[in-house]
Structure 1
Amino acid sequence: MGLLSQGSPLNWEETKKYADHVRKHGIVQFLNIYNKVKERQKDVLLWGDEVEYMLIEMDEKNEKVRLVLNGGEVLETLQDKGEKTNPNHPTLWRPEYGSYMIEGTPGQPYGGTMSEFNTVEDNMGKRRREASSVLNKNETLATITSFPRLGCPGFTQPEYNPTPVEKGVSKSLFFPDEAINRHPRFSTLTRNIRHRRGEKVVINVPIFKDKCTPSPFVEKFPEDDGEAARAALPDHIYMDAMGFGMGNCCLQVTFQACSIEEARYLYDQLATFCPIVLFVYLTIDEEINKELLDAGIDKLLAQHIAHLFIRDPLSLFEEKIHLDDENESDHFENLQSTNWQTMRFKPPPPNSDIGWRVEFRPMEVQLTDFENSAYVVFIVLLTRVILSYKLDFLIPLSKVDENMKAAQERNAVQEGMFYFRKDIYKGEMIQVQSAQNGLDSEGDHYILMSIDTIINGKEGVFQGLIPILNCYLENMEVDVDTRCTILNYLKLIKRRASGELMTMAKWMREFVDKHTQYKQDSVITDKINYDLLRKCDSIAKGEERCPELIGDPVNRGSVNQSCCQRIEC
C-alpha cells in the first residue's frame, strides 16, 4: 500500500494549486536521496511478498455471499495482537483500498539463501490462520482477484445503497462509498480523481456472449442522470468507480538489490514479463527532464522520473505541504505511489538502511497459499537467474504493449501468442535509439511464442524458463526438503503453462458454466456466487482437493527421491 499520511485532506481545487509545488519539491527530494545513496553498494539481497485478502460472509441460510466492510477493525485487531505487541512478529498487516480488504506480508524480509523458499508457504499459512482467527462467525478470507458480484445490489455486509446523485465521494451507481477504506487518503483520492477528470471513472469490459445473452446487451440505469448512458458501450459491462479496479486483489513481490545499477537492470529485465512503460519513447516533462540531467542523472533514469512527474498529485494533506526536503520524501512518494504501473522502481527512504528496490506488481492473487507461494518463488528464482547469468529479455515497448493486449484475451494461456526474445544469452541489449526512431533493426531477436514455449521451451525455438531454472538449481547447494518444495512450485507453473492444469480464471468460468442454475445468459446469481465461493473457501482451507486446478503436490512431510527429480521440459 502506498503513502498513508495523516492530516487534513485538501479537495481537488486546493490540491491543484500546489501541483507545481509538489512536483518541484518531489524532484528535489529524489535528487537528495539519489545523491546520498547513489554510490551505495553491497546491500543484502532481500525480498518479500504482499498478499491481498477479501473479507467475506457466507450466509448459509439465504445462500448468499457478501463482502464484509469491517477491514479497519480487523486490521486494528491484527496489529494490536501482532507488531504492536512484538516488533519481531512473523506477520505484518496493512490497509487496502476496499473497506473489505486487508494486506498481509511477512514480518521480516526473506534473505538470499535457497532455504528461504521453504518458509514462504508456511508464512502465508500463518497469515491466513491469524486473520481468520479474529473474524466473526460465518466470515472467512478469500484470495480471489475479483468478487464476482462486485457492484451488484446487496453485495456488502452491512448493506449500503450507492449515492450517485447525493453529495458523495465516488457518486457511483453501483459502488457505495462505505465500501471504500475509511482512511482519508482513499476517499480523497477517489473524489479528486473524479473532480480532476470532470466526470466519473469509465470502465467498459466486453461481456461474455453466451447462448442466451441478449444481443446487443444494453444496460439500463434507473438512477442515471445521463452520464452512464453516454459512457456505457453496447455488449459491455459498464463500471463507474475506482473500486472496480482498486477493489480487486493481487499478489506482489518486492526485491532489494545490491545497488542502484542492479535494481535498474532487474527493473528493465522484469518489464518484459508484464505490460509496462519501458525506457523507450515516453511522454515526459521536458523541464523536469532537463533539471535531472543538469543535476547529473543519466538519460534513462531522468526519462523515467520525468515520465512519472507528468502526473498531478491526487491526494494532499494540509500539514504535508511544506516539508524538509533533506529528510522527507512525501512529495516524491505522492506521485510515485499514485502511478499504478505493473513495475515500480523504488529509491531508498531518506535516512534509512533500506536499499534500492524493484516491485513486481502484475500477478493475480491465487486461491491457495501453495499457488501464491509458487508464483512468488518462480519470480524470485527468475531474478536470481537473470542476475547470475546476465540474461537479456528486452524487447521494444511496442511489442510489450501488443503482449498486454494479447494477455487480456480469454484463454490467452493456451491460445495467445506473445513476443519474446529468442537468444537471451547474447547480452546484446536492444538499442534505445533504434526504438525511439521507430526502427525494427532488432526484430530478428524476438518472435511470437506461446506461453507454453516461453515457460517450458520448444526445441529449435526457445529453451524455456523452467529448464533454465532447473539448470540454475542443479548448480546450487540446496537441501532435499527445499529442493522438493521448489520443484513442486515449478511443476505447477509448468503444468499451468502447458494447459494441463487450469488457470483460476478458466476454472471459475467452467464452474459457473456447469452450475445447474446457470441459464447461459452471462448472469452470476447469488446462488451461483455462493456455491462458487464456498467451493473456493473449502479448497483454500485444504478441506477439499482440486487436482484440475492445483494438481497433486507432494507433501513435504513425505519427501522421497521421486518428488525431487528434475522437471523435464
Structure 2
Amino acid sequence: MGLLSQGSPLSWEETKRHADHVRRHGILQFLHIYHAVKDRHKDVLKWGDEVEYMLVSFDHENKKVQLVLSGEEVLETLQEKGERTNPNHPTLWRPEYGSYMIEGTPGQPYGGTMSEFNTVEDNMRKRREEATSVLKKNQALCTITSFPRLGCPGFTLPEFKPNPVEGGASKSLFFPDEAINKHPRFSTLTRNIRHRRGEKVVINVPIFKDKNTPSPFIETFPGDDEAAKASKPDHIYMDAMGFGMGNCCLQVTFQACSIAEARYLYDQLATICPIVMALSAASPFYRGYVSDIDCRWGVISASVDDRTREERGLEPLKNNNYRISKSRYDSIDSYLSECGEKYNDIDLTIDKEIYKQLLQEGIDHLLAQHVAHLFIRDPLTLFAEKIHLDDANESDHFENIQSTNWQTMRFKPPPPNSDIGWRVEFRPMEVQLTDFENSAYVVFVVLLTRVILSYKLDFLIPLSKVDENMKVAQKRDAVLQGMFYFRKDICKGGNAMVDGRGKAQPSTEPAAEEYALMSIDTIINGKEGVFPGLIPILNSYLENMEVDVDTRCSILNYLKLIKKRASGELMTVARWMREFIANHPDYKHDSVITDQMNYSLISKCNQIANELCECPELLGPAFRKVKYSGSKTGSSN
C-alpha cells in the first residue's frame, strides 16, 4: 500500500482547501530529491516482491467460508514476532485496504546474483507458514485475487450489515465499513473519493451468460435511486472502493543503477503489462456471480475513480480545471525515455504551471510532463499534523499525489536522505494460488528486466496500442483468444539506451510497420517467421550465464509454467476456477455462486496452496512438491 501517514485525517472539504498547498510543496519536494540524486549512478540491482493475502475462516459444518476481519491483530502479532524483535527477520508485514488482508514482502531486497532466484519461493513459503502459525483453528491464509462472494450477505466474520446511509465511509449497499482496515488512511480515502466524485463509485462488470442466466440479467435495488440509475442490464453492479482495493495482487519493484536506466525499464515493461496480466488472470467472480472478465483491473480502476461528472466529460467544465480521460488507477499515459517519445500518442492532460516550473528547474520535457500529469490530481487524504513539512528533508506531499496515481508502472524517486536508488514498480499481476506460481511470475518478470538491459531490447509501440492491449487482456480467456499489439523486431531499437544519460537515436521506420497483432503464445513462446518469443530469449540468456544446477532447475521450472500457461497446455487460475464452478454439483448454470459452491472452491484453493492435493491442469509436472505444515484447516472437503 502507499503512503501510511499517522495523524488526524481531514475531511474532503478541509483537504480540498489544502490541495494547492500539497501540490506546490509536493513539487518542491520532488525537485529537492531530483537535484540531490539526478546524477547518481552505479546503484546495484536490488528487487523485491509484494504478495497480498486474504484471511479466511471455514465453517465446515455449514459449508461456508468467510473473510476474517482480523488483519490488524494478525499484522500486529507478525510484526511483534518478526521485525520488531529482529531487524534482519526474513519477512516484513504491512497493512492492506481490507481488514481481512495483509501484505508480505521479503525482509531484505534480493540482489543481482542468479542464485537469488532460488530463494524467492522459499521466502514466500516462510511468509505463508509464518502467518498461518498465528491464525485460529479453521482459519487459513489465501492468495486469491478476488473473493467470489465479496459483498454478499454475511461474507465477513464477524458478520456486519452494510450502512448505505450518510455517515458511513462508503455508503455501500453491499460492503460494510467494518471490512475496511482501521488505519485512518483507508476509510478517509474511501470517504473522500466519494465526496470528491459527488456520488458513490460505479462498477459494472459484464455477467457471464450461461444457459440459465436470465436475459436480460437485471438486478433491482428497492429504495435506492442511485443504484437503480447506476446499474446496467447484463452487468454485476458494485458501489464501493472495497470491491477493487479489497482484491489481492502480486507486484515487483526494481532498483535501477541510474535514473536513465529506471526510465528505460519503466517504458519497456509498460508494454509487457497487459501480456503478463492476461497470463496471470485469476479473478472471474464478483459479488457472488460469474462474470465475463478474468482480471480485476477494470474493477479496481472504477472503484477509486474520483473524477467528477465534469472531469468525465458528462457536464461542461465549470468547477473543475480539466477533462481527465482515465481513472487515477489505470495504465500509464506517457513514456519517460527519449526512445519512447515518438510513441507518446495519447493526449496528455498536464498542469501547465507545474510543467513550466519543472522545465525552469532543469527537468527535461518527458519527465516534466509525467510529473505535471500526475499532479492534475487532488490529494485524497491529508493529516492535520502533516500539512507543514520541511521540503528539503521530507517527501510526504509528493508521495501523497504519487502514491494515489495507481498505474500499471510506477516510477519511484529515492526517498530523501536515503541510500535507496531510482526504482520502478511493475503492478499489473494477479496473485496466484501457490507460492510456486507467484515465484514463477516474479522470476519471469525480473529475468526479463535483466535481458532487456543486457541485450538492449526495445518493446516500444504506440501507447494507444498498449491501452488497447489492456482492454483485451481483461477479457475472458484472453490468454488463448486475445490478440495483442506487439513489436516485431525487438532488437532494432537496441541502440535506444546507449549511454548513462539515456540518449536515444530513434528509429526512422514507420511506426505502423514496427508492430503486429500476435497471440500470447506467439509473444511468450515464439513463432517461426513472426516473433522469436520471450521464453526462448530468456533461455538463451540463461545459457550464457554461470548458474548453479539447483538455481537453473528452479528457473527452468518457473519458465515452463509460464510457457504452458501461454500455450494453453496449463490453465490460468481464472479458467481453472470457471471450470471448477461449472462442474460443481450445485451449480445451476445461472451464473450464481452459492455459499456452498464458494466453500468448495476456496477449500480446494487452500488445499492446492498448501500442497495437500495435486492440480495438474493448473500446475502441471513443473510443480515441485515441498511439504510443510500448511494451513490449520485440515481436511475440508
- Calculate the TM-score normalised by the size of structure 1: 0.95
Q: How far is the alpha carbon of 1:554 from its aligned partner? A: 6.1
User: Within 5 Å, which residues of 2 pair with 1:235-274?
Assistant: 235-274=234-273
The 3 A distance-change label for structure 1 pair 59 and 82 is same
Going from structure 1 to structure 2, the CA distance change for 1:187 and 1:555 (only over 3 Å counts) comes to closer
Residue 509 (str. 1) matches residue 575 (str. 2): no
Q: What is the letter of the counterpart of residue 555 of structure 2?
A: I
C-alpha contact (below 8 Å) 1:52/1:104 kept by paired residues:
yes
Is 1:547 aligned with 2:616? yes
**2:145 corresponds to which residue?**
145
2:488 is the alignment partner of 1:419: no
Q: How does 1:150-299 map to 2 (within 5 A)?
A: 150-222=150-222, 224-274=223-273, 275-279=331-335, 280=344, 281=346, 282-299=348-365
**Contact 1:485/1:556 (<8 A) preserved:** no
User: In the alignment, which residue of structure 1 is the partner of 2:534?
Assistant: 465
Give the Cα separation in 1 of the matches to 2:541 and 2:13: 55
* Structure 1 position 478 matched with structure 2 position 547: yes
1-side partners of 2:494 and 2:118: how far apart? 35
CA change 1:107–1:529 in 2 (3 A) is: same
How many Å separate the matches in 1 of 2:43 and 2:596?
A: 52
Question: Which position in structure 2 is the counterpart of 1:32?
Answer: 32
Query: Who is 2:629 aligned against?
Result: none
Q: 3-state DSSP class of the match of 1:93? A: strand
Instruction: Provide the rounded CA distance (Å) in 2 between the counterparts of 1:95 and 1:35.
Output: 32
Structure 2: stretches of 5+ with no match in the other structure: 274-330, 336-343, 497-507, 627-637
TM-aligned CA deviation for residue 103 of structure 1? 0.2
Residue from 389, 392, 412 that aligns with 1:346: 412
Tell me, what secondary structure is at the counterpart of 2:492? coil
Answering whether residue 43 of structure 2 is matched by residue 43 of structure 1, we say: yes
Q: Residue 585 of structure 2 aligns to which amino acid in structure 1?
A: T
Task: Give the Cα–Cα distance (whole angstroms) in 1 for the partners of residues 428 and 334 of structure 2.
Answer: 15
CA 481–313 in structure 1, closer or farther in 2 if over 3 Å, else same = same
Show CA shifts across 1:151-206 (max 9, x none). 00000000000000242100000000000000000011100000000100100000
Alpha-carbon shift at residue 429 of structure 1 (Å):
8.2
Question: What secondary structure does 1:353 align onto?
Answer: coil
Which amino acid counterpart does residue 278 of structure 1 have in structure 2?
A: S
Task: Measure the CA separation in 1 of the matches of 2:403 and 2:509.
Answer: 34
Residue 331 of structure 1 aligns with an amino acid whose one-letter code is H
1:439-454 alignment, distance < 5 Å:
441-454=510-523
Q: Residue 62 of structure 2 corresponds to which residue in structure 1?
A: 62
- Counterpart CA distance in 1 for 2:332 and 2:571 is 26
Q: Residue 285 and residue 141 in structure 1: after superposition, are their counterparts in 2 closer, same or farther (change >3 A)?
A: same
SS of alignment partner, residue 102 of structure 2? strand
Q: 5 Å matches for 1:101-112?
A: 101-112=101-112
For residues 290 and 277 of structure 1, the distance between their equivalents in structure 2, rounded to whole angstroms, comes to 19
Structure-1 residue corresponding to 2:10: 10
* Corresponding residue number in structure 2 for 1:318: 384
Equivalent residue, structure 2, for 1:456? 525
Distance 1:440 1:238, change over 3 A: farther
Per the alignment, in what secondary structure is the counterpart of residue 94 of structure 1? strand
Kindly indicate whether the alpha-carbon contact (under 8 Å) linking 1:271 and 1:278 is maintained by their aligned counterparts in 2: no
User: What do the CA deviations read for 1:73-122 (whole angstroms, capped 9, x no partner)?
Assistant: 00000000000000000000000000000000000000000000000000
Question: How much does 1:327 deviate?
Answer: 0.2
Letter in 1 for 2:102: I
Map of 2:371 onto structure 1: 305
Candidates 475, 483, 490, aligned match of 2:559 = 490
Within 1, Cα distance between the matches of 2:100 and 2:386? Answer: 28
Deviations 1:16-44 (Å, cap 9, x if unpaired)? 00000000000000000000000111111
C-alpha contact (below 8 Å) 1:348/1:356 kept by paired residues: yes
How far residue 273 of structure 1 moved from its aligned partner, in angstroms, is 1.1
Q: Which amino acid aligns with 2:521?
A: D
Matched, 1:522 2:521: no
Q: Could you state the TM-score of these two structures normalised by the residue count of structure 2?
A: 0.85
Distance apart, 1:427 and its partner CA: 1.2
Structure 2 counterpart of 1:133: 133
Q: Is the 8 A contact 1:250 1:364 kept in 2?
A: yes
Question: Equivalent residue of 1:551, what SS?
Answer: helix
Q: Compute the displacement of 1:417 (Å).
A: 0.1
Q: Could you say which residue in structure 1 is the equivalent of 2:434?
A: 368
Letter in 1 for 2:46: L
Equivalent position of 1:500 in the other structure? 569
Letter in 2 for 1:510: E
How much identity, in percent, do the aligned residues show? 80
Matched position secondary structure for 1:272: helix
Q: 1:341 to 1:441 in 2, by over 3 A?
A: same
Compared CA separation, residues 156 and 440, structure 1 to 2 (3 A): farther
Q: CA deviation at 1:556?
A: 8.6
- Provide the residue aligned with 2:82 in structure 1: 82
Does the 8 Å contact 1:481/1:556 carry over to 2?
no
In the alignment, the residues of structure 1 paired with residue 428 and residue 238 of structure 2 have an alpha-carbon distance, to the nearest angstrom, of 21
Alpha-carbon shift at residue 220 of structure 1 (Å): 1.2
SS at match of 2:48: strand
Query: Which secondary structure does the structure 1 equivalent of 2:407 belong to?
Result: coil
Residues 204 and 238, structure 1, Cα contact 8 Å, conserved in 2: yes
C-alpha deviation, 1:278, in angstroms: 2.7
The alpha carbon displacement at 1:428 in A equals: 6.7
Q: What residue identity is the alignment partner of 2:270?
A: A
Q: Give the counterpart letter for 2:269 in structure 1.
A: L
The one-character-per-residue Cα deviations of 1:261-312 (angstroms, maximum 9, x if unpaired) are 1100000100001243233231111111111111000111111101100100
Contact residue 570 and residue 620 of structure 2 kept, 8 A: yes
How far apart are 1:408 and its partner, in Å?
1.5
What's the CA shift for 1:555? 4.1
- 1:566 paired residue number: none
Distance apart, 1:221 and its partner CA: 1.6
Contact between 1:484 and 1:556, CA under 8 Å: does it hold in 2? no
State the alpha-carbon separation in 2 of the partners of residues 464 and 502 from structure 1. 20
Equivalence map 1:379-458=2 (5 Å): 379-427=445-493, 441-458=510-527
Letter aligned with residue 254 of structure 2:
F
Please tell me whether the aligned partners of residues 436 and 623 of structure 2 are also in contact (alpha carbons under 8 angstroms): no
Q: Is this contact kept in 1: 2:23–2:398, CA < 8 A?
A: yes
| Aligned-CA RMSD value | 1.3
Whole-angstrom distance in 2 between the partners of 1:532 and 1:353: 45
